[in-house]
Amino acid sequence: MSSVNTAAHSVVEPTPTAKRIAGTIVILYALVTMIPLAWIFLTSIKSPPDSISYPPKVVFTPTLEGFCNLFTTRTRQTPDYIQALPPPTGTCDEITRGRNMVIAGPSNYWPRFGNSLLIAFGSTFLAVSLGTLAAYGFSRFRVPLADDLLFFILSTRMMPPIAVAIPIYLMYRQFGLSDTALGMILLYTAVNVSLAVWLLKGFIDEIPREYEEAAMIDGYTRLQAFWKVVLPQATTGIAATAIFCLIFAWNEYAFAVLLTSGSAQTAPPFIPTIIGEGGQDWPAVAAGTTIFLVPILVFTIILRKQLLRGITFGAVRK
Amino acid sequence: MAEVVLHGIAKTFGDTVAVDDLSLTIRDGEFVVLLGPTGAGKTTTLRLIAGLERPDCGRVTIAGRDVGRQSPAERDVAFVFQQYSLYPHLSVYDNLAFPLRSPARRLGVEEIDRRVREVARMVRIEHKLQNRSTRLSGGEMQRVAIGRALVRRPAIYLMDEPLSSLDAKLRAELRLELKRIQKELGSTLLYVTHDQIEAMTMADRIGILSEGRLVQIGTPREIYADPANLHVAARLGQPHINLLPIDLLPGAAVPSGALTIGARTEHLEIATSAQGNAEVDWIEHLGDQNHLHIRVRGHKLVTLADPYLSIKPGDRINLTLRQPLYFGPDGERLR
Ligand SMILES: Nc1ncnc2c1ncn2[C@@H]1O[C@H](COP(=O)(O)OP(=O)(O)OP(=O)(O)O)[C@@H](O)[C@H]1O
Ligand SMILES: [Mg+2]
């Protein structure tokens, strides 16, 4: 390329060709990672026979059977009994009768989903709140043994959390925290708070103290200055941290299986149990998974702008 | 507005002595400028008064009360920082209103609005009130920072090089404006700068800091004409003071023990003469001034040239001293 030509380009702006190549790679990668998601969604609207047919069916008649099976429990009946019933009241009723079954009642999916929402968002809120305060303290005050403390906080993440499952199980039984939402919130908060402190300390370190000092001179207390000046500037970091915490708490399976069984059970351990309720009901499992993905998706989209800036971990901000 | 007194304050950071046994009285309604090289402890002094640092020893009193145990908010001071002056997440308007909205002050919305608009007019930023503070030029940011201090009527204004990133014209304007406002309000103001013109034109008194110590304090006239030592003499005067051995030029009445002569333009008399003791090296045209570079027996001098004096490089001139400054071996002034 001639020197005149290169000089015409801005130094920091990639050339159009480079942009096109990068774009193509990103799109291809996105497609590859989205295939499993697409497959799950397609399975959720297949009929059970279609879902296990070999070779897999790509063209099929969509049905709501998976969703019906997800939301209901059903009992098998004789054709004569079904014939004698009054006409079906809804789509699900009709589909179920077609399989020689009647709806016995709602399934546990929504209560479990609700538990997941409560536990994941509750623990994320706690972990991020505590993490922000701790990170601020570490960043701004001379904490005795700060480095050792920070290392200690991080060291709780150095083994897989499940390695301490047995002690926690015993402890929870002792304290009556087994199978309670509070117990799960505390547990996920404890696991996430170390991540939150470390991530947020980096972000808060980057906010010059002069802002708080200015606010304190302007007539605010330190706490008010933290609230009015530091927090608004840390939103990027808080959003990024919140998403990481939420994804962990939302998807966590091992502790959930171990510590919850009934009223506080979350969705991840519940979804596999659907398989048992009448053969290999893959569409129902897929339907449960599809719905399960929605909250994270919504949360991520809401915080997308903050996340994009935050995910660079302050590398090239300012 | 109030009198602010520092009684022998000191502050060290690790091995660095930032402020060393500093005593200073800023009288009620006085404009005091601190002048000193980089690292002299100017910013640290302001931060000690504001309560952002705790002195290792010594006391600070504002309006007679010892503020040692008070938080920055309680001390009732306003601070214009050297950098990072504006809250980046707020608009210009909200930046200016921020101090007035503090829970401790509880002003009404209309009162706040009136004062914000008044101060915005003062620092000429009213056309940018709704801008995000990050979308301003450096000069506009500094004006908002000054405005954020002026919006209050504190015991003392502390300003850390507030005009440093402005262009010369705006700087000259704001210099006058700031001085006018200060006089009008009768404010007490402690002002840090590197710029000697700012110091000379605005100050009631100038304090010269060096390595954390207050070397001399006095009116601009005193500091300029009657410096206590070489360090002070070197801080003021454009072009810089010439430091010469005592026997270089005629006309000196050297006191005993003097080692160095300090000669500014007004201490040098120039006459054209073919047998003169000096030679014109070159003439630097700065627009409003001409700097005359002169060579005398291997020593170089710079002085202001009379625009009507017709000399050119290579000419010989006769140079005589007229009541110059004398300094001893330790740099102290001898009279
Ligand atoms: N927080 C701190 N920690 C350690 N050393 C510091 C701190 N603040 C200031 N110092 C040191 O104290 C000395 C005085 O600093 P100060 O900021 O008061 O200088 P200054 O006169 O304002 O300089 P400048 O004109 O460059 O702004 C310097 O040597 C500086 O390195
Ligand atoms: Mg400074």
Instruction: Please give, rounded to a whole number of angstroms, the shortest distance from the CA of B82 to a CA of chain A.
Output: 10
Tell me the C-alpha distance between B179 and B153, whole Å.
15
Mean pLDDT of B14-32: 94
Q: What is the pLDDT of residues B283-331, one digit of tens each?
A: 888 878 889 999 998 889 999 988 777 788 888 888 899 899 999 988 8
Please answer whether residues B294 and B278 qualify as being in contact, where contact means their C-beta atoms are separated by less than 8 angstroms: yes
Six token digits for residue B50: 């504001």
- CA distance to A195, B6, B270, per residue, from A145 (Å): 19, 35, 68
Give the count of Cβ contacts less than 8 A between chain A and B. Answer: 59
Residue A219 CA to ligand 1 center (angstroms) comes to 25
Ranking A203-212, A299-308, B117-126, B186-195 by mean pLDDT, the lowest is A299-308
Contact B115, B147 (CB under 8 A): no
Which single residue is written with the structure tokens 């503020």?
B67
pLDDT at B57: 93
3-state secondary structure chain B: CCCEEEEEEEEEECCEEEEEEEEEEECCCCEEEEECCCCCCHHHHHHHHHCCCCCCEEEEEECCEECCCCCHHHHCEEEECCCCCCCCCCEHHHHHHCCCCCCCCCCCHHHHHHHHHHHHHHCCCHHHCCCEHHHCCHHHHHHHHHHHHHCCCCCEEEEECCCCCCCHHHHHHHHHHHHHHHHHHCCCEEEEECCHHHHHHHCCEEEEEECCEEEEEECHHHHHHCCCEHHHHHHCCCCCCEEEECCCCCCCCCCCCCCEEEECHHHEEEEECCCCCEEEEEEEECCCCEEEEEEECCEEEEEECCCCCCCCCCCEEEEEECCCEEECCCCEEEC
pLDDT at A3 (0 to 100): 43
At B115, is the pLDDT very low, low, confident or very high (cuts 50, 70, 90)? Answer: very high
Contact map slice: A 77-116 vs B, CB within 8 A: none
Distance from CA of A229 to the nearest CA of B (A): 7
pLDDT computed for residue A310 by the predictor? 52
- Higher-confidence residue of A238 and A261: namely A238
The percentage of residues in chain A with a pLDDT greater than 90, rounded to a whole number, is 54
Q: Which residues line ligand 1 (CB under 6 A)?
A: B 13, 16, 18, 36, 38-44, 82
Alpha-carbon distance of B92 to B124, in angstroms, equals 12
Q: Which residues contact B303 (CB under 8 A, 6 or more apart)?
A: B239, B242, B264, B265, B268, B270, B291, B292, B294
The yes-or-no verdict on residue A2 having pLDDT over 50 is: no
Name the DSSP class of A230: I
**Per-residue pLDDT reduced to its tens digit, A180-194:** 999 999 999 999 999
Q: Do A224 and B102 touch (CB under 8 A)?
A: yes
The torsion of the CA quartet B296, B302, B303, B309, rounded to 10 degrees, works out to 60
pLDDT tens for residues A274-290?
Answer: 876 566 789 999 999 99
**Residue range B246-271: mean pLDDT, rounded:** 87
Which residue is listed with tokens 């059977």? A65
Please provide the average confidence, as pLDDT, over all residues in chain B: 90
pLDDT of residue A163: 83
Contact between B270 and B317 (Cβ < 8 Å): yes
Q: Looking at the partner chain, which of B71, B87, B103 has a beta carbon nearest the beta carbon of A229?
A: B87
Q: Considering only alpha carbons, which residue of chain B is nearest residue A218?
A: B99
Q: What part of A 208-247 touches B (C-beta under 8 Å)?
A: 208, 210-211, 213-221, 224, 229, 232-233
Q: How many Cα atoms within 13 Å fall on the side-chain side of residue A96?
A: 26
Say whether pLDDT at A13 is over 90: no
B154 → chain A, closest CA residue: A218
Residue B52 and residue A217: Cβ atoms within 8 Å?
yes
Residue B233 scores a pLDDT above 60: yes
User: What one-character-per-residue DSSP string does A144-180 give?
Assistant: TTHHHHHHHHHHTTSS-GGGGHHHHHHHHHHHT-TT-
Cβ pair B218, B206 in contact under 8 A = yes
**Distance from residue A286's CA to the centre of ligand 1 (Å):** 63
CA-to-CA dists, residue B309 to B4, B283, B305, angstroms: 49, 12, 7
**Which among B87, B103, B152 is the nearest to A211, CB-wise?**
B87
C-beta of residue B81 within 8 angstroms of C-beta of residue B55: no
Amino acid letter for position A176: G
Q: Does the pLDDT value for residue B93 go beyond 90?
A: yes
- Among B152, B50, B158, B156, which Cα is nearest to B104's? B152
Is residue B250's pLDDT more than 90? Answer: no
pLDDT single digits (tens) A47-75: 888 888 888 888 888 999 999 989 998 88
Mean pLDDT along residues B89-100 = 94
Token couple for A42: 């397609």
Model confidence band, residue A309 (pLDDT cutoffs 50, 70, 90): low
Pick the ligand that lies closest to the CA of residue B160.
2
Q: Are A99 and A278 in contact (CB under 8 A)?
A: no
**How many Å lie between the alpha carbon of A195 and the closest alpha carbon of chain B?**
26
Average pLDDT over residues B190-201: 91
B-chain residue closest to A235, CA distance: B89
- Identify which of A225, A216, A203 has the alpha carbon closest to the alpha carbon of residue A313: A203
Q: What is the tens place of the pLDDT at every residue in A98-153? A: 888 888 889 999 999 999 999 999 999 999 999 999 999 999 998 899 889 999 88
- Would you state the pLDDT for residue A134? 95
> What integer pLDDT is reported at residue A174 of this predicted model?
94
Tokens of A118: 């409560």
Which pLDDT score is estimated for B173? 86
- pTM, full prediction: 0.80
A4, A65, A91, A285 from A97: Cα distances, Å: 76, 11, 10, 20
ipTM exceeding 0.95?
Answer: no
